[in-house]
Amino acid sequence: MRYSGTILAFAIVAFTASAQDTRNVTEPVIPPSCAVLTAKLPAKLSEADENRPDTARIQDALDRCAAGQAVELKSAGDVRAFLSGPFQLRAGVTLVIDGDAILYASRNPRDYDVSPGSCGVVNKGGRGCKALITGDHVAHAGVMGDGWIDGRGPSTLTGQTVSWWDLAQQAKVTNLNQNCPRILVLSHADDFTLYRIRLRNSPNFHVAYNGGNGFTAWGVIIDTPKAGRNTDGIDPGNSTNVTITHCFIRAGDDNVAIKAGLPGPTTHITVAHNHFYYGHGISIGSETDGGASAIRVSDLSIDGADNGIRIKSNSSRGGLVHDVVYEDVCIKDTTNPIYMDSNYSFRGEATDKLPVFTDITLRNVRIIGPGKITLDGFDASHRLGMLFDNVALDSPKAVKISADHGEFTLGPGPVNFRPAGGDIHIEGVPGKGAPNACEDKFVKLPVSFEAQ
């Protein structure tokens, strides 16, 4: 096997801390192959190629592979592509996509139907599509390699005149639900690994990880245009011991969204050494009724996003979010660099699921360019609690600040702004010092891929 790791040549790093991912996470290793499947399609698919799927042979190889080994998808010169509808990963088995290979998702909604005709439509119900790749109770499995998985979100669907993303936009304007597949949906998949894989153009979320213990995304590249509505990058939820590291993510929605809905909780999360570009930033929520805690975000750049550091929920899905630390974060040219939103997409009257965001620490955070900081607690009994320690605005006059129902501590490091608003209490005395060093934080996305 040949893997071009020069672009993502990371040193082996171990992460250990009691309040974040409790595992000792080191750089993954690609396992030996049990089977090598050679591409039969060109990088640019013709209409005839659309009728030559590889789904069955990929699934057959995964089914036959022994635990601890990998099924490798390999290019053959200019013949680089595989085409597939939904398939299932297996416990202990890794799917490896070689650096020159491309796995294209089928454009045919019928391939993804949960029930006849349920995918590729807009309706009230939603949830009508299978994922391209599903891992259900597949412990110790993974997806690795330097190749691409292209969900083909902007491509015209078979038998229709619209794309997946057109359906997503239609759902938005009609206040209905889109039925579009995700690339990777992983449920109760303990010790799952994404390593160096490149994802693009998902019709919906790129990666959803739910209900597991142990998830590592290392060196993953996600590159999807802003036009892709609801194309979150990586969304862990109802899980523990998650590490997302050395990743490069630009997407049409949240770069990373830590979900914490029922049954919950979501805890012991490490997001370290990453670069985010356009998108909706590093988010917690909007579901928080299961509880979110022990989250550490460090060594992060956010460049040109709609949102930077964001926690979002509302009275229909809120709960306790606490013990969250953001440290060594550089945010540039972002509309809402800090956004604490207790009334996100408010629906109906208040219930007993009220959001509480407290014990939230920002340390060594620098904001470059204009924007708006929103610091809103839910009400006087459910207040926002935050500590700002060496948090600097490069252009204080160009950043608007609103706050409500908050308890804020400033210092001991410098803070060159002061929250203002109704029902807030501020204590602490900011010190003196230099802002966080961000000169080397902002780097270009390492690679790009011109999809169909």
CB-CB contact of 323 with 293 (8 Å): yes
- Torsion sign over Cα 143, 75, 246, 86: negative
Among 164, 171, 158, 162, residue whose Cα is nearest residue 131: 164
CA–CA distances in Å: residue 176 to residues 170, 245, 312, 418 = 8, 35, 21, 41
Name the amino acid, one letter, at 442: F
Is 280 annotated in the active site? yes
Q: Is 421 exposed, middle or buried (0-12, 13-18, 19+ CB in 10 A)?
A: middle
Which residue spans within 69-212 are E strands per DSSP? 70-74, 81-84, 87-88, 94-97, 102-105, 122-123, 133-136, 142-144, 148-150, 177-178, 184-187, 192-195, 198-200, 207-210
Given phi > 0 = left and psi -120 to 50 = alpha, else beta, which region is 174? alpha
How is residue 410 written in tokens? 């400033």
CA–CA distances in Å: residue 159 to residues 107, 108, 285, 326 = 9, 8, 36, 47
Q: Which residues are CB-contacts of 188 (< 8 A; sequence separation ≥ 6)? A: 136, 137, 210, 211, 212
**Per the residue annotation, which of 150, 280, 376, 389 is the catalytic one?**
280
**Residue 437: how many other CB atoms lie within 10 Å:** 11
Tally of CA atoms within 13 A in the half-sphere of 366 that contains its CB = 17
Cα 180 to the center of its chain, rounded Å: 17
**Per the residue annotation, which of 253, 303, 341, 376 is the catalytic one?**
253
Q: Are strands 177-178 and 122-123 parallel, antiparallel or unpaired?
A: antiparallel
Among 147, 51, 32, residue whose Cα is nearest residue 93: 32
Among 14, 11, 17, 13, residue whose Cα is nearest residue 296: 17
Is 376 annotated in the active site? no
- Torsion sign over Cα 339, 342, 347, 353: positive
The one-character DSSP state at 51 is G
Residues belonging to the active site: 253, 280
